[in-house]
A and B are shown apart, each in its own frame.
Chain A
Amino acid sequence: MTELVVGTKKGLYLLEGEPGSGFEVRTRAFAGQPVEFATRDPRTGRLFAAVISPFYGPKIFFTDGDGDAEWTQADGVALPEGGDQALERIWVIALGEAEATLYAGGDPGVLFESRDGGASWELNAGLWDQPSRPHWQPGGGGLCLHSICTWPGDPDRLAVAVSAAGMWLTEDGGRSWRRGNAGINPRYLPEEALKDENAGRCVHHVERAPKQPERMFMQFHGGVFRSDDAGESWIDIGGGGLPSDFGFPLMVDPADPDSAYVIPLVADMDRVTPDGRVRVYETRDGGSSWAARGDGLPAEHAYLTVLRQAFSRAGSGEQLELYFGATSGDVFGSGDAGASWSTAATRLPPVYSVVAV
């Protein structure tokens, strides 16, 4: 049995089912409220929801029961008081390598850390105090820190991505940070701006290959990239069979560091699945070639938008399960590493995030 924790424009949904079949909605929480991201910590069973109320601001809530149990607001999810910025959004919550550690990323390009299982959080001062921060440029969705890549077995090594302030790397647990954008030369920047490290690097999503942590994959705003040196530098792997190198989500098979999955959209000016067909593209050779994996997915008149947090996995290798949700309210799943797909749920509110547990 797999659980899908689904954040939507109108609440949190907990779905459960078997890979390759339809899923049942077990619980709905935060009815009517935008849940930008939701996840469960399998170490503790604790559920988290990043609720982005347009009235009351972004909050993280957690519960140790099921989704319909009492939720508690986490402490410390705020910027320093008395400044000229407010926390706008929480984009992602990620499990840390150290016991009871979690991370949360948000807008304006901020990282929070919890060392008590998510009950209380603290702003990462190293990233907050970056001298270049006043020059960081927001992407279309704001200055969002959306990707947090831990290093298996080493809590001190972390990579985060901020749209559009690019990649940031730390090897001392977040006390100091440096950029990791070599090789990312956006087509939307004029030649002379490429030397400006503050010119926008609009990273859309980043994943690390757990078995070979130096290897990372990135879906960029026009480009798919791979790094073989832990995010220091990147090479373009967006050719080789992709219908478009624009998109948001990206996933990897933890058993295979040469694997990555993307869900291309037409382009930044037309953010829907190309040719009215929903297809996931897979590489098993580090991005040299890509193959469509669409068996069972809508094949005509399907113009879906899949957001950056709405793609998840469970298991690995031949048992790799993949799940993604669209703003159409559909959730699709594969129980055989993308070879075949089925509709896991439909007619949900617009899907913001999917996490398979």
Chain B
Amino acid sequence: MAVVCVRGPLRKLAGGGAEHQLEGSTVLELLCALELRHPDMRGWIVDERSRIRRHINVFVNGERGEEATAVRSGDRVEVIPAITGG
């Protein structure tokens, strides 16, 4: 099991929980598992092409990850909307 961490409106959609223990071997599998558990999240992180939305960043144990990034049991996956501005 890995831990997926969400915040802001994603946390509300995920039933209020910030951390979610989920099964999956890649970032995409984990995010799909999160959507399955909390259907209101569908389409918020991953789009119809099974791609992580452009302005959402995912970090696996502090390192930038993408859809196919491998995840092991105990890993921590942070889902963070991009901070943009100038």
Contacts and interface: CB of A to CB of B under 8 A. Distances in A.
Contact of A57 (B9, B40, B44, B84): B44
Contacts, number: 41
B50 to A, nearest CB: 7
Query: How many residues of B sit at the interface, in one of the four size bands?
Result: 10 to 19
A57 B43 contact: yes
Q: Max chain B CB contacts within 10 Å: which of A56, A79, A82, A83?
A: A56
Interface of A: 54-57, 59, 73, 78-87
Contact of A54 (B9, B10, B48, B55): B55
A56 B9 CA distance: 10
Contacts of B84: 54
A83 B50 CA distance: 9
A201 B53 CA distance: 30
A206 B85 CA distance: 36
Contact of B48 (A55, A59, A73, A78): A78
A57 B49 contact: no
B38 interface: no
List the 7 closest A-B pairs by CB distance, nearest first.
A86-B47, A55-B81, A56-B44, A79-B48, A55-B55, A86-B48, A81-B48
B11 interface: no
A80 B48 contact: yes
A79 B48 CA distance: 6
Given A56-B45, A57-B44, 15 more contacts: A55-B56, A55-B81, A56-B9, A56-B43, A56-B53, A56-B81, A57-B47, A59-B43, A78-B43, A81-B48, A82-B48, A82-B49, A82-B50, A83-B48, A87-B48
